[in-house]
Structure 1
Amino acid sequence: MTAAEQGFPAKEQAPKTIYLKDYQVPPYLIKTTDLRFEIYEGETLVSAMLHLYRNPAAAPASQLTLHGADLELVSIALDGKILGADDYEFGEENLTIFNTPAEFKLLTITKIKPESNTSLEGLYRSRTMYCTQCEAEGFRKITYYLDRPDVMSEFTTTVVADKKFPVLLSNGNLIDQGDAENNRHYATWHDPFKKPAYLFALVAGDLAHIEDSFTTCSGRDVTLKIFVEPKDLDKCDHAMTSLKNSMRWDEEVYGREYDLNIFMIVAVDDFNMGAMENKGLNIFNTSCVLAKPETTTDVGFQRVEGVVAHEYFHNWSGNRVTCRDWFQLSLKEGFTVYRDSEFSADMGSRTVKRVEDVTLLRTLQFAEDAGPMAHPIRPESYIEISNFYTMTVYEKGAEIIRMLATLLGKEHFRKGTDLYFDRHDGQAVTTEDFVAALADASGRDLTLFKRWYSQAGTPRLHITDHYDEDAQEYSLTIKQSCPPTPECQEKLPFHIPIAMGLLGSAGDLPLYLKNAEPDFETGDNTHKVLELTSAEQTFVFERVQEKPVPSLLRGFSAPVKMHYDYSIADLIVLMSRDSDGFNRWEASQQLGLHAIHQAMKVYQQGGDLKNWALEPDLIAAYRSILQDDSLDKAMVAYMLSLPSEAYLSELADLVDVEAIHYSRTAVRIALAHALRDELMRVYQDYDHQQPYSATADAIAARSLKNVALGYLMLLNDDALVQACEQQYRTSNNMTDVMAALTQLVNSSSPLAQQLAVKALDDFYQRWQHESLVVNQWLTVQASCVLPGTLATVKKLQQHPAYDGKNPNKIRALISSFCNGNPINFHANAGVGYEFLADQIIALNSQNPQIASRLLTPLTKWKKYNVQRQSLMKAQLERIMAVSDLSKDVYEVVSKSLV
């Protein structure tokens, strides 16, 4: 009988808010969990034998409440006795059992229907396989359980299915397998390490695999397997190499050794997230594991490497030591993002990786901090935890860890993480436990620093300076503030590390900080980390023999917005001579912002941008970048790339969509004309026929060449258009193919438009059977900045290539248009807003997680003019009026309308 048939109360109109302050330890714990899955077409029977006992840390309890959702209860027995209807009752998403003893075994048998599970949480069917996604609260869709991260149990899992699903997998080590009746078979897996239910995994399917091994630092041999659909077997080598590199790096950098006999990855096409770190059985979105040059771009290769590392590193930072509750999510995610970022930096260019991470943070997370869903990295409340898998928890969380590493130094940070892992192995802990381990190991007082965990928002630094030539003293006065956010209007000062240097006429100047602590004068005396702990502080440097140009916030040492009144000449000095690679890039971005803002003034005053010219100093500065052979080509590519429209919108108090788009384009066109010869040299010097390589140098060379192509295509020169089309036709890798196709699709040249139509048709015909490549085909069309793109998107929704139930397809088409194409999304009196609302309403009951994540563009309605505000708010109100709105969507919409 289902819970609904038991008559539990109807879902409330306003879903319940869950608060951190209300946390209580679980009344019962689970010693062992024995699961048996009988998988049939149309339904699956799940038998769960739980060995429960009262939690000695909790008040005595005489009843047990288990979580459960969308389950049909077949039977329930306590210590072998079948329970009657009076022995238990259903709640909205739970099952309460009365008169429970201090220790007992509970057997439940539930019936679920994976084939109709469109939420992609719990157990569901993806094409030819069954798989699970249990984080955060998906396990309750499999069986009744204490589905919370602080309940950790030892799992044994038996999977039984028809032999047409020859691969049967779960967590841990394989301990038994064999035949069953009626042409069926089974496999039993045992995980000796206690884990919460969110780390449970199961896969049953007709899969192929590649196999390798890794010898750990203690000499154990670990079997490595990557399972995919047979057609994808040739796309696994890069993921396997990335996995082995990750295992080696974690041993060398953190001293962490893998613990099971086998490590498995399974690629799944229908997946809400990127990947999941289930103990010993990682389940990945296909986009994060499959890669080969013909089908995958350089960005795709880098993503596979980063995600494989991220999920593997979770084995310690998340699995062996996990979260006490979901408010502590950044405990595992922020720490692990930091770890995978450092890994990627070690595998390639540290500066390039830092530029990529900061670009993402400042574009998306800063916008999140300024919006209605702003929250600390440890939130105080939530309605639906899936809404808090955010840029704040992940990327800002990683920046918090980075600041701690900066403040403590490499040696003390490593001692702190060692203590954390050793002290809490096998436990579910909090962010306070993590910081305490670092403080105890280093001897540093981190009390003030902990405000980063409890205060939302992006701090702002206002920096002024003064040079006393007679005294040869240079002072920096730094003021900090933080705007109000929904959870808090008044913010206390943060503890902010500010890495800096001073540039003189001959390069970096030595730094002698007045009244510095004795241990401050160590290491490189041209680079210091100032510690801002008050609302305002002044730092004075002695023996400064000339007025310097300050290099501030080197390496982006804190997630803040900084204002210092740099002149154009200062920025050119920093861009050309700073020893900090990140700040060289940052100076180029500030020059780009200056040029775009100058163009915006002309546009907003009704001027003609066709007659607008760049300042000669700016042209000379960008020319010098192209002529500087000492620079990494990837850095040249990034320094030539202007700030994105999304970042420009984030910086604006009131977003002028058209002014941003057309002014940025005008600056790019001006640079293309001024630097045509240099850009042509870059493009022509590249060997287009060289074999593909995914090394950092090869990726850098392709990146710079394709940036040059992007500029040159703005000139609408038929010869250049033909060269672009030739690159599309003859390239031996997807990076260059997609770069050329993107330029053709977005060019206003009549010839380019003709060639784009043919290229798009050719591309689909060639790659229609490769789902991930088709996603790129959808994205390039949805991202086209030319008029009429919304009509194209609606037409593509009817195309055989599009599947409205597949998250990857939804992201490729719908999200690419609504999030990545502002000039078209915001056009035509709000038709884009109505289109997005239609998608969210349709997905609300089908896949609430994806529906909620699509809402982001509408949540920013207060940043636009009155007309657009009215149109966007109307669509939010329309969504809010939907009956039976999911918790996921309700939370975002309700907070956005406040």
Structure 2
Amino acid sequence: MVDAQTAAQAPKVIRRDAYRAPEWMVPEIALDFDLDPAETRVHATLTVERNGDHDAPLRLDGDGLSPVSVRVDGVEAQGWHMDGQTLVVPLSGKAHSVETEVRIAPERNTQLEGLYASGGMLCTQCEAEGFRRITFFPDRPDVLSKYKVKLTAEKARFPILLSNGDPVGSGDLDGGRHWAEWHDPFPKPSYLFALVAGDLVANKATFTTMSGRDVELGIWVRAPDLPKTDHALHALKLSMAWDEKVYGREYDLDVFNIVAVGDFNFGAMENKGLNIFNSRYILADPDTATDWDYDAIAAVVAHEYFHNWSGNRVTCRDWFQLSLKEGFTVFRDQSFSADQGSPAVKRIEDVRGLRASQFQEDAGPLAHPVRPDEYMEISNFYTATIYNKGAELIRMMSTILGPENFRKATDLYFRRFDGTAATCEDFVLCMEEASGIDLSQFRRWYSQAGTPRVKARLEHAQNGGRAVLSLSQSVPPTPGQPSKEPMVLPLKVKLFGEKTGKPLTSERLVLLSDPSEEIVFEDIAERPVLSINRGFSAPVIVESDRDAADLAFLSAHDDDPFARYEAMQQLMLDTIVGAVRSGKGDHGAVIEAVRNTLADDRLDSAFTAEAVLLPSESFVGDQLAVVDPDAIFRAREALRRDLGRELEHEWRLAYEAARANRFELSPAAKGARRLKSVALSYIAASGAPDAASLAFLQFEKADNMTDRQGALTTLAGGTSDKRVAALDIFYQRYSDNPLVLDKWFQTQALSARDDTPETVEDLARHRDFTLGNPNRVRSLIGAFSVNQRAFHHASGRGYRFLADQLIALDKINPQTAAKLIPPLGRWRRFDSLRAEKMRAELQRIVDTPGLSKDMFEQASKSLD
């Protein structure tokens, strides 16, 4: 528990209901940077205007800054002082020009917030509150300014100088220095400011907008990485065209630049006209990037570009509204990705991710609404709830409104709030106004945490031909919300005939808004089988009375691809959970269902690969009152083994069919590679004597990283001597490529081997491991913490390891450290011995002197 002394030292809690409009606005800001890694001078000129009738002084946020000078209207300011980290300047009248100058040291900035050095370049990350580490400013999203930025630096060291907006001038200076000036004509909050200075080259192209304007596109990287940028550039052009077609949104500046950075806390950042990306979401070629990497790059490029309207042109009033931009934009990038390949497979991937991260978040101590009510550190709310559940809210509204009304509503939203800072409520009001649909009750999705549970029971009176679907809903208690009101749940349902396999009804959208409801279907001549929550139309947990035969039937006959996949997953899940509880497993139904799926040549390979994968160990654990990692592992491995043995012939046929597949990025080729790796893993699970040789041959002969990584993953989980050889070859081949080396660390951290905890401890001492790079931290520490069996080793060594690493990391990069706390926070779900050990490590973290507010908030809440 958190003691009284520790609680007294806790950071201040920020509450949504305490919001007040800014006392001063800043219509314009001019920034002059004299850039140097050791000491950068920042001169800021703010045009400030009093907002409302008050006499409050100007308060400018800072973080680690000391003013060198403060001037008002051209003369030295009088009476200014520091209130903690805040610069306070007394002002009379309505408008002034306020100048400040500070000195900062980018090369000593290990937090990677504000202006910092990475790989020989200088770059920024200002969301959420990094701008206050660069200069004094009212650093809040509802203060929108037009920016003029001048950058000066040593030309040989930093030949490229980039910032937001469009370039307006550049030139050389004495002493080998040069300058560049950028103007952004669109008002933006400070979190969207960006600059980059470095020795970079660009992959350039031109995009012609729907109104006929030419936009110069550039993806800036280190020279050796230039050949790996074509895919990202292509994805950018596709994104721009898609946003015009689907949402009518045209790009508004003359240039659009992206820079790839090796050290970055996030995936990417949507700064206006100058997106800064984690290099893992830009760089790709067949030898170093998997198909997953290629898809992720396209999705993240699209996401950040789509922010130009859903986040930049219309931004958030305050950080409690974060899902206004992130949830909406995730929905947009998911829709884009679905249009580029298989919508069914994309939906499966999105839901799998939602269940793995957000459902667990909703069920734990860090559960919070999509629009939170309070926080200590805003960076802790960049969560799956804000992003992924937020996207599901937009998807549900789109389903309820229908495509035509939804487009009318988004047009209204963009038109009404262009150039302003809006709220989630503003968005929902536009949905209502454009469609005429009352969403009053739907708003509970924004204010109530927790994953709704739906119970479904279907009864059929054979004589009368009537079927009655009984539905009920409940939302479990979450921290601070012990009781919940009924939600609006858009559930797509359909009935199929058990004998004929044909649809008995058309698909119906049921809006479940009461605690319980009955849906009547007339003229049902044969026993119906229920297909429910088709397409995952609502982010809920469904508990139904469907038995194994019903699920196997749906896995073969349902005409909704997601529902077909879901039926197979539920059949597998029920089988594994039953084995965990009873110690015995009846695998016959699953084996036959998988056999039928593999034999169905109407299915594309990508869907088949997803459908035959077993639910993850952590997802199985979510179904149990008390998680038993060892029992879950044994039950799941037994089913894998039997599937491998009983269907070995089918797996080999699938493998051979894809063996000759050469690298290309078509959906068919990617699907074949995916099924090939899944088939290989099942052949290995069968215990086939040639499995390791087959995997090693694939590893050696692969012409792409997808096949090579798939083979390495199979070998890394086994005991063959070829495992060590493959890991050594992989390391030697890619030791100078940080992104690929991350895969080497991650593959071992996720291994199912008994000695994985020891292996991970050794890897943390490896010469190529560093806490200074977020990607490397996530590849080892983050991956290990989600390896359920290894992390939850009964000795508690996994918990000690994670706590040790997080305490050390907190001193370097609190944001990255805090995001790795949640696995420890699930202690309530485990047996008493494990729970005690997990809580002890959380307490040790909380008791650590000098703990950041990022870590304190996450660890203390996880203890409560």
TM-score between both structures, scaled by the size of structure 1? 0.94
Paired residue for 1:183?
176
Paired residue for 1:806?
773
**Which residue of 534, 543, 551 maps to 1:571?**
551
Amino acid at match of 1:71: L
**Residues 554 and 583, structure 1, Cα contact 8 Å, conserved in 2:** yes
**Which residue of 8, 22, 43 maps to 1:47?**
43
**Which residue of 84, 95, 106 maps to 2:87?**
95
**Residues 310 and 329, structure 2, Cα contact 8 Å, conserved in 1:** yes
1:666 aligns with 2:638: yes
**Residues 63 and 85, structure 2, Cα contact 8 Å, conserved in 1:** yes
How much does 1:510 deviate? 5.0
Q: C-alpha distance in 1, partners of 2:56/2:581? A: 71
Paired residue for 1:675?
647
Q: C-alpha distance in 1, partners of 2:467/2:578? A: 32
Counterparts in 2 of 1:870 and 1:616: CA distance versus 1, 3 Å = closer
Amino acid at match of 2:429: A
**Residues 501 and 508, structure 1, Cα contact 8 Å, conserved in 2:** no
SS of the counterpart of 1:40?
coil
**Residues 45 and 111, structure 1, Cα contact 8 Å, conserved in 2:** yes
**Which residue of 438, 443, 446 maps to 1:445?**
438
**Which residue of 836, 841, 845 maps to 2:811?**
845
Amino acid at match of 1:863: R
Paired residue for 1:628?
600
Paired residue for 1:20?
16
Deviations 1:348-396 (A, max 9, x none): 0000000000111112101100111100000000000000000000000
Q: C-alpha distance in 2, partners of 1:27/1:696? A: 53
Aligned residue runs from structure 1 range 491-530, under 5 A: 491-504=484-497, 505-511=499-505, 526-530=506-510
**Which residue of 472, 494, 500 maps to 1:479?**
472
Paired residue for 1:686?
658
Paired residue for 1:533?
513
Amino acid at match of 1:88: W
How much does 1:720 deviate? 2.2
Paired residue for 1:436?
429
SS of the counterpart of 2:22?
coil
Paired residue for 1:355?
348
1:650 aligns with 2:617: no
1:745 aligns with 2:716: yes
Deviations 1:702-726 (A, max 9, x none): 0011100001012333322111101
Paired residue for 1:292?
285
**Residues 555 and 564, structure 2, Cα contact 8 Å, conserved in 1:** yes
Paired residue for 2:566?
586
Q: C-alpha distance in 2, partners of 1:801/1:582? A: 41
**Which residue of 34, 38, 42 maps to 2:34?**
38
How much does 1:579 deviate? 0.8
Amino acid at match of 2:128: A
Q: C-alpha distance in 1, partners of 2:803/2:821? A: 8
Structure 1's consecutive aligned runs of 4 or more residues displaced over 6 angstroms after TM superposition are none
Paired residue for 2:3?
none
**Residues 45 and 109, structure 1, Cα contact 8 Å, conserved in 2:** yes
SS of the counterpart of 2:514?
coil
Aligned residue runs from structure 1 range 163-242, under 5 A: 163=155, 164-242=157-235
SS of the counterpart of 2:175?
coil
Deviations 1:44-71 (A, max 9, x none): 000000000011xx44233011110011
Q: C-alpha distance in 2, partners of 1:723/1:541? A: 53
Paired residue for 1:637?
609
821-830 or 15-24, which deviates more: 821-830
SS of the counterpart of 1:234?
helix
1:784 aligns with 2:751: yes
- Gap runs ≥5 in structure 2: 1-5
Q: C-alpha distance in 2, partners of 1:326/1:166? A: 36
How much does 1:696 deviate? 1.2
Amino acid at match of 1:231: P
Deviations 1:399-458 (A, max 9, x none): 000000000000000000000000110010000100001100001111111110001000
Counterparts in 2 of 1:222 and 1:442: CA distance versus 1, 3 Å = same
Aligned residue runs from structure 1 range 266-305, under 5 A: 266-305=259-298
Paired residue for 1:118?
110
Deviations 1:645-685 (A, max 9, x none): 12112222211010111110110001100000000111112
Deviations 1:212-239 (A, max 9, x none): 0111000000011000111111110000
**Residues 149 and 163, structure 2, Cα contact 8 Å, conserved in 1:** yes
How much does 1:567 deviate? 1.2
**Residues 767 and 774, structure 1, Cα contact 8 Å, conserved in 2:** yes
How much does 1:618 deviate? 2.8
Aligned residue runs from structure 1 range 851-870, under 5 A: 851-870=817-836
**Which residue of 704, 709, 712 maps to 1:733?**
704
Paired residue for 1:411?
404
**Residues 37 and 122, structure 2, Cα contact 8 Å, conserved in 1:** no
SS of the counterpart of 1:376?
coil
**Residues 297 and 734, structure 1, Cα contact 8 Å, conserved in 2:** yes
How much does 1:613 deviate? 6.2
Amino acid at match of 1:154: K
- Gap runs ≥5 in structure 1: 1-9, 512-525, 604-611
Amino acid at match of 1:66: L
**Residues 27 and 59, structure 1, Cα contact 8 Å, conserved in 2:** no
Deviations 1:492-540 (A, max 9, x none): 11011010111013344354xxxxxxxxxxxxxx111011111111111
Amino acid at match of 1:800: R
Q: C-alpha distance in 1, partners of 2:341/2:152? A: 44
Amino acid at match of 1:473: R
How much does 1:177 deviate? 0.3
Deviations 1:224-276 (A, max 9, x none): 10001111111100001100010010000000000000111000000000000
Q: C-alpha distance in 1, partners of 2:342/2:790? A: 35
Paired residue for 2:240?
247
1:65 aligns with 2:45: no
1:722 aligns with 2:684: no
Amino acid at match of 1:697: A
Q: C-alpha distance in 2, partners of 1:217/1:780? A: 45
Amino acid at match of 1:571: L
Paired residue for 1:704?
675
**Residues 50 and 95, structure 2, Cα contact 8 Å, conserved in 1:** yes
Q: C-alpha distance in 2, partners of 1:503/1:237? A: 46
Amino acid at match of 1:503: F
Amino acid at match of 1:132: T
How much does 1:599 deviate? 2.5
How much does 1:640 deviate? 0.8
Q: C-alpha distance in 1, partners of 2:855/2:639? A: 39
Counterparts in 2 of 1:11 and 1:286: CA distance versus 1, 3 Å = farther
Paired residue for 1:310?
303
Aligned residue runs from structure 1 range 611-626, under 5 A: 614-626=586-598
Q: C-alpha distance in 2, partners of 1:763/1:843? A: 28
How much does 1:473 deviate? 1.8
How much does 1:602 deviate? 4.5
Q: C-alpha distance in 1, partners of 2:585/2:825? A: 36
**Residues 716 and 747, structure 1, Cα contact 8 Å, conserved in 2:** no
Counterparts in 2 of 1:715 and 1:572: CA distance versus 1, 3 Å = closer
Q: C-alpha distance in 1, partners of 2:18/2:164? A: 32
353-362 or 617-626, which deviates more: 617-626
How much does 1:12 deviate? 6.8
SS of the counterpart of 1:765?
helix
Query: What is the number of equivalent residue pairs in this alignment?
Result: 857
How much does 1:131 deviate? 0.3
Paired residue for 2:856?
890
SS of the counterpart of 2:811?
helix
